[in-house]
Amino acid sequence: MENLTYVTGNYGKYVSVKEKFENAGIMIDYFDCDLEEPDVNDIKFISKEKARQAFEKLGTPVFVADSGFYIEDYPKNPGYPGAFVKRSGVSSNITGLLETMKQVKNRNCCFLDCLTFFDGKDYFQFFGVSKGTLSNEIRGEQNKRAKSNLWFVFIPMNCSKTLAEMSNEERNNRDDNRTSATDEFIKWYKKEYKSEKKLTKNL
């Protein structure tokens, strides 16, 4: 098994995916670091830039994962906060978010995840989407797997509970038609990247 390094300042993100990698026979290391985010509302560009920074710090194959949160009918700014979810303060002030959305009937929203892997030569990006609605109140319990405070107000499609209200089993097995950037990366890494590296090594 070969170790990869997940670079993030959010330990919950690491915990939430570590088991998936281990089950796939891939060991990952955790490097605690808050990387600088470009001031653009583009999750793909931000993720690629952070992967570049991470590799510069460690000099080994790294991956980073970033999430945008898009609220369909955010007042006067549809799709907000997008990639600015952290810098805007939306994720750290969910009470304020609920107050802003108090009179909004359409509460459709989604997470867009982008995972970028950089081996020092090439960038590879993978995406995942989870659609749902915004609850009217904060619901759920603290969980070390929580990637964001938005777990307390995000209700996945076809579900009645927020992510924070769900057990680990409920979250993992929910039927909300979501796609996973992590799953796509693991599948690609095992089947394509590893086999290509093995072939190159034997040439």
Q: What is the DSSP string of 111-148?
A: EEEEEEEE-SS-EEEEEEEEEEEE-SS------TT-S-
Among candidates 196, 203, 163, which has minimal Cα distance to 67?
163
Is the backbone peptide bond immediately before 81 cis, with ω within 30 degrees of 0? Answer: yes
- What the chain holds in terms of domains, given with CATH numbers, is 3-202 (3.90.950.10)
pLDDT greater than 80 at residue 196: no
Mean pLDDT of the chain: 91
Handedness of CA 164, 169, 172, 177 (dihedral sign): negative
pLDDT greater than 70 at residue 194: no
pLDDT greater than 60 at residue 200: no
Task: Provide the H-helix boundaries in the chain.
Answer: 11-23, 43-58, 94-100, 168-173, 181-188, 194-202
Q: Give the pLDDT confidence score for residue 145 in this predicted structure.
A: 73
Q: Give the pLDDT confidence score for residue 2 in this predicted structure.
A: 55
166 touches 160 (CB < 8 A): no
Give me the amino acid identity at 80.
Y
CA triple 12-114-94, angle to 5 deg: 50
pLDDT in tens, 16-45: 889 899 999 898 999 999 899 899 999 999
Q: Give the pLDDT confidence score for residue 6 in this predicted structure.
A: 96
Of residues 199 and 24, more confidence is placed in 24
- Give the global pTM: 0.83
